[in-house]
Structure 1
């Protein structure tokens, strides 16, 4: 992994999340709850919609976010096959720093750019053993992903713009405290407490923006599945012997400018979590035939790490974003927005999702930009993900498991044009 990606991950790439994707990329877009597929604001357009880079000229952007997710679960009345201790815990490590940056050059007939973005949010760190049989001092997982995209964008006629971003990805993962699941793992020695594991992969983004007139524009973006190497240290946890690809996404957006000062953007996004088996396969499976005292007593395809191994039970996610921007003065621009996403998983999939309680679905954002010099500006965006919970039972846990989360995210970005 490059030194840039390594330092990027070291900062802790967690995000205000739609599942574990960020609800927005770029400080300006985050100030509008992530909306902006049809209206590029900064060089994170290489992530939001590669076609948008063509409109940005020569510039560099850098930002850092302070992200605080608050995660907790509670349960009682375990039962003999529960895999879980009766407990009520909050996850520690509630502050993460998240950097991002981008660079764009106008080459005349086309533009070239580089964008670094991040995904994260599948992070928990409970300070005691959550699952029965756990022998670690803590229980939890941590997933961090860094994506480096190289964008080529150009105009297609007077009103259409096209962009393409070949992307390389790096991810790292670790898990602790899952010893209680050894009996249903195809490889109990590669299930938990093996430290950090890294994998690398690649994918592609395509984007288009079409201007109907000076007031109305439309945009579309498609990101392919990012094909990643297997996480070999956790071959007994993830389906397919450690497979953990990054899901594909598609987005459609529209921007309307009723006046010179006001702009309104609306986006619809779909994240295809259901296509990645490690994420989507259900863990709502009876374990009555397993001898939990003998590791490795089941090696079937549906066991942990198997070719169709059980997972987190996540579904494809739909996200809707609405944001507005108002030019308050020549130097000051104000933004606000709201987004809502469908549930990541159903209430029958709560057991494993103690490790990844992606329960939030409504985000409210506001922000702004202040240009303090002709070629430099500072931007800010604050996002609050409202508290939400998912409560349900699992075939291996008779009493309800209640998962809870809320999030706060404050990002500051700097722009320099040259």
Structure 2
């Protein structure tokens, strides 16, 4: 891990700065992006068995064997997540009324490149992609009055979290037999986290294993790490392809400035995931896709541990006797997120040599239960449906314009105020999302292309 930090972090940080200038919130399955680049966005993230551009390396590196020549993809998404919470009248901490988060507009860039010009005995195609996650982004005003007469939802003024994650991967793909391709992509990752407005917890020094790093004044803290993505694509029939791609956990350095907040002394790895799917060319023009995805949020204690663990901590004053369940402890409180299944359905219709039409739909399980609704005011990743559409148009000269749109309908979770009487059921969190993506794809060496 030290080698990753020493040799990888400088390059990754430089590449990441431009992305973080925009922000990396994104249409979310929990807090994972539902797709990268304009094509995947239009297909609701489906296509693990149907790779057709350089961004495929961020989904299934094996699919890069179908991306001929040299290509660069660039896209920017304008993402608008609308997040809010409400508190019913009654005893507890949550302010009474309805409240909406700030930070409701983000620009998210995506860059990918691939080429078969370096083909050798080890690989046929190489690709580089730079993509991001960031579904935990909230900022609730301190104008509301909490149940303990302090400002904001947690009595510490404007409250929220900001988690940004950026991934740079270098993919290598090879066709090992007719109809069988494999690929592997080492990943370097950077993430930055900020929390603020949690002053209530600082009033209980015994609630954390490290009082100096529970709520360190809303400071940004960086960490770096790495993992691996690998995939395979098999064509059992001429018009049928099956693809599987998996990503290991991304093992990250701890957030040292938040070692008294996150379980295991600031540990915040990035969960593992797997995606499998099938693509069928119904006609030469029409391809249908069906994918399944699984995300192991349970593999990261800071995300999956129940928020109610805090009440077993002696320092909170609720009769708890287990210091390991204090903030920062080995079983410290988290957001209570569960593993989720995701199902994706999509279609791509190549209407002509110039125009391609795309549409998709994705459904995912909700990672947030009613038990953890209160703390997830900070991270209400509760949307379950993504409806998408888009197109690609050949502009000539090697340039292709891509567009995608997404709508995620409103979803809510209701649960107890953790500081109210049991069964009070007075907290509700909600989110819905819009996203528009525009991209340019350039194919080096296409007819009339200026660069060959």
Shift of 1:159: 0.8
Give the one of 164, 167, 172 matched to 1:147. Answer: 167
1:402 aligns with 2:428: yes
Give the one of 208, 211, 224 matched to 1:185. Answer: 208
Partner Cα distance (2:323, 2:431) in 1: 34
Assess if the C-alpha contact under 8 Å between 1:371 and 1:378 holds in 2.
yes
Structure 1: runs of 5+ lacking an equivalent:
none
Structure 2: runs of 5+ lacking an equivalent:
1-9, 445-452
Partner Cα distance (1:77, 1:277) in 2: 32
Shift of 1:299: 8.1
Q: Equivalent residues in 2 for 1:76-91 (5 A)?
A: 76-79=88-91, 82-91=92-101
Which residue of 1 is the match for residue 19 of structure 2? 8
Which residue of 2 is the match for residue 303 of structure 1? 326
What do residues 306-346 of structure 1 show as CA deviations (whole Å, max 9, x unaligned)?
A: 11111000000110000001111210000001000001121
Q: Equivalent residues in 2 for 1:52-71 (5 A)?
A: 52-57=63-68, 58-71=70-83
Q: Equivalent residues in 2 for 1:15-414 (5 A)?
A: 15-57=26-68, 58-79=70-91, 82-106=92-116, 107-109=118-120, 110-128=124-142, 132=148, 136-182=156-202, 183=204, 184-192=207-215, 193-285=217-309, 287=311, 300-397=323-420, 398-414=424-440
Which residue of 1 is the match for residue 7 of structure 2? none
Assess if the C-alpha contact under 8 Å between 2:314 and 2:322 holds in 1.
no
Partner Cα distance (2:65, 2:313) in 1: 59
Cα RMSD of the aligned pairs, angstroms, is: 2.0
Partner Cα distance (1:289, 1:232) in 2: 21
Match of 1:103, SS state, is strand
Match of 1:391, SS state, is strand
Shift of 1:288: 8.2
Assess if the C-alpha contact under 8 Å between 1:153 and 1:162 holds in 2.
yes
Between structures 1 and 2, the one with greater helix share: 2
What do residues 11-57 of structure 1 show as CA deviations (whole Å, max 9, x unaligned)?
A: 10000000011111221121111110000132221111011112112
Shift of 1:130: 7.2
Assess if the C-alpha contact under 8 Å between 2:309 and 2:326 holds in 1.
no
Match of 2:254, SS state, is coil
Assess if the C-alpha contact under 8 Å between 1:226 and 1:246 holds in 2.
yes
Partner Cα distance (1:363, 1:135) in 2: 34
TM-score, structure 2 normalization: 0.88
Between structures 1 and 2, the one with greater strand share: 1
What do residues 211-256 of structure 1 show as CA deviations (whole Å, max 9, x unaligned)?
A: 1222100000010000000111111111011111000000101000
What do residues 158-195 of structure 1 show as CA deviations (whole Å, max 9, x unaligned)?
A: 11000000000000010011011232222232122241
TM-score, structure 1 normalization: 0.95
Match of 2:265, SS state, is helix
Distance 1:406 1:108, change over 3 A: same
